[in-house]
Structure 1
């Protein structure tokens, strides 16, 4: 093992720490002597005297009750027992070195694990870019992703099973922090053979007579509220059918002609057979997405993710944080 890795460990640079009564500094001396096979050269490496090295090695051999080095006129040679001993000590020091480096990396958020909850696609858009840049900056952080309803991912954040959840809208929860990060245009998902599918953009008045398919969970509550408000503003009666299905099934219902639905721009990057997406030209508001995390979570990987997300979003001016 190379000494330039060992010498950083303070525990081996003191003469006061012991292992089974053996000063750890004596183990340090033994490793260096085994590398250079000369007390004089070892003293130069260690910045001490040859007599000090000789005394340390002799004391180590007496404590162990074995001869580690055969003294020769121009140096020393490891005995068979000494060879095994130094190999074991070097391996142990390597494990200590790895443990110290790993602990330091975890404290800095350079190594570790980050668990993320979401319900929107991650093939494109802000979230995909965020995860990609985070992986480039912190390649030793393992990211795990759970896709579920917003209410479920927030509950898992509260319970400590998730570090972070990305949800639609803002979250007003006394036991969580939230930060508004990005916005996306709202689009209508239509069957491929729908008359409006031929247009590049449509209006809310065009959609007033349609049946809207709305999920119970996920973005469903926000979609339901927006449909009711926009259609009512045009003095028409909204027609809404609530569906307890996942996103892919919802798009399948749209393709089958059961109705239309609303979604966000990121979803348009996912191909759904028989479905087209059209911008709603007179929709003045965008869908807003927030990060949610527990104030008790001290995972450095989480803090680095939040810092990077804020930098990417340019959201400092409308950052929304509770209980800060």
Structure 2
């Protein structure tokens, strides 16, 4: 490897960085402490900078060490994904696949998919992370994730998508609000009410669906705050800042301060898509996608 740095050096460094203790790191690696310390010093010499500050009481990362840790974890993670792809094409059923999704995907869509996937691939680790659509597409294009559960977005040549589900909306109101006594709400009920909604640059599909519904109902919304996440909406409504319209999945998150009311006037028009790289060939990933397709709602 260029600069004389080998993968084992990265493993050693990451282990010490995670433990911040040379003796514990050596035990974890199954080696003596002295050769581990020697390898870290050699790595520092080849990098030309100190990675750790060592005292008699503690070990801590230097600023350079913190940066190198992020790069090392990224390189080792990339190697793991490369091994998984290679093994899956050759028929081996082990390794790791990286799956990401918006909040709804992680809380309501992915659990049964992963459960069924593990029946066929018990030795494959599914690395899961919650991310927004834009960040997911960046990672998908860089081959840092294999499967993304995203909101509708402009098409691009590097990925393919299929719809997994469509969802509607609910009204979110404080439990002591007069509207909380009604069975369901109409758009006209929002007239004159302080409204919490999404910022137009984030949660774009939610924002446009909500604003379009209010306009169709002849409502000029009194927007008191814009937020970037659905859970922030529920927090602010519970605090009495205003009322809101939110995706229906929020109703599965009960709160002692809130009630959720159906909004039949707003169609179920917000999509959740599963996306994958257009040139994906891994049998493991393609089998995961087949399960995702079977979960359509």
TM > 0.5 between the two? yes
Within-5 A mapping of 1:296-315: 296-313=279-296
User: Structure 1: any 5+ residue segments left out of the alignment?
Assistant: 1-101, 315-324
Q: Deviations over 1:7-44 (max 9, x none)?
A: xxxxxxxxxxxxxxxxxxxxxxxxxxxxxxxxxxxxxx
Equivalent in the alignment of 2:145: 162
- Give, in angstroms, the shift of residue 255 of structure 1: 0.6
Equivalent in the alignment of 1:116: 99
SS at structure 1 position matched to 2:295: helix
Equivalent in the alignment of 1:132: 115
Across the aligned residues of Structure 1 and Structure 2, the Cα RMSD in angstroms comes to 2.8
- Give, in angstroms, the shift of residue 123 of structure 1: 6.7
State yes or no: 1:266 paired with 2:249. Answer: yes
| Contact residue 196 and residue 227 of structure 2 kept, 8 A | no
Cα distance in 2 between the residues matched to 1:156 and 1:103: 19
Q: Deviations over 1:219-260 (max 9, x none)?
A: 621222122211111222123355344443332111112223
Going from structure 1 to structure 2, the CA distance change for 1:132 and 1:262 (only over 3 Å counts) comes to farther
Going from structure 1 to structure 2, the CA distance change for 1:245 and 1:303 (only over 3 Å counts) comes to same
Going from structure 1 to structure 2, the CA distance change for 1:103 and 1:203 (only over 3 Å counts) comes to same
- Give, in angstroms, the shift of residue 105 of structure 1: 6.0
Equivalent in the alignment of 1:215: 198
Of 179, 195, 217 in structure 2, the residue corresponding to residue 234 of structure 1 is 217
Going from structure 1 to structure 2, the CA distance change for 1:160 and 1:217 (only over 3 Å counts) comes to farther
User: Structure 2: any 5+ residue segments left out of the alignment?
Assistant: 1-84
| Contact residue 116 and residue 163 of structure 1 kept, 8 A | yes
Give the TM-score of the pair, scaled to structure 1: 0.58
Going from structure 1 to structure 2, the CA distance change for 1:309 and 1:215 (only over 3 Å counts) comes to same
Cα distance in 1 between the residues matched to 2:253 and 2:275: 25
Cα distance in 2 between the residues matched to 1:244 and 1:189: 14
Of 280, 286, 289 in structure 1, the residue corresponding to residue 272 of structure 2 is 289
Of 231, 241, 256 in structure 1, the residue corresponding to residue 239 of structure 2 is 256
State yes or no: 1:150 paired with 2:133. Answer: yes
Going from structure 1 to structure 2, the CA distance change for 1:216 and 1:173 (only over 3 Å counts) comes to farther
Equivalent in the alignment of 2:259: 276
Cα distance in 2 between the residues matched to 1:163 and 1:198: 46
Cα distance in 1 between the residues matched to 2:90 and 2:195: 49
| Contact residue 189 and residue 263 of structure 1 kept, 8 A | yes
Within-5 A mapping of 1:68-147: 107-108=90-91, 110-121=93-104, 125-147=108-130
Going from structure 1 to structure 2, the CA distance change for 1:267 and 1:134 (only over 3 Å counts) comes to farther
Q: Deviations over 1:121-168 (max 9, x none)?
A: 457533333233223333222111111221111111111111111122
Equivalent in the alignment of 2:174: 191
Going from structure 1 to structure 2, the CA distance change for 1:241 and 1:198 (only over 3 Å counts) comes to same
Q: Deviations over 1:179-208 (max 9, x none)?
A: 111122322222222222222321222224
Aligned residues: 213
Higher radius of gyration, 1 or 2: 1
Equivalent in the alignment of 1:85: none
Cα distance in 1 between the residues matched to 2:228 and 2:86: 44
Equivalent in the alignment of 1:84: none
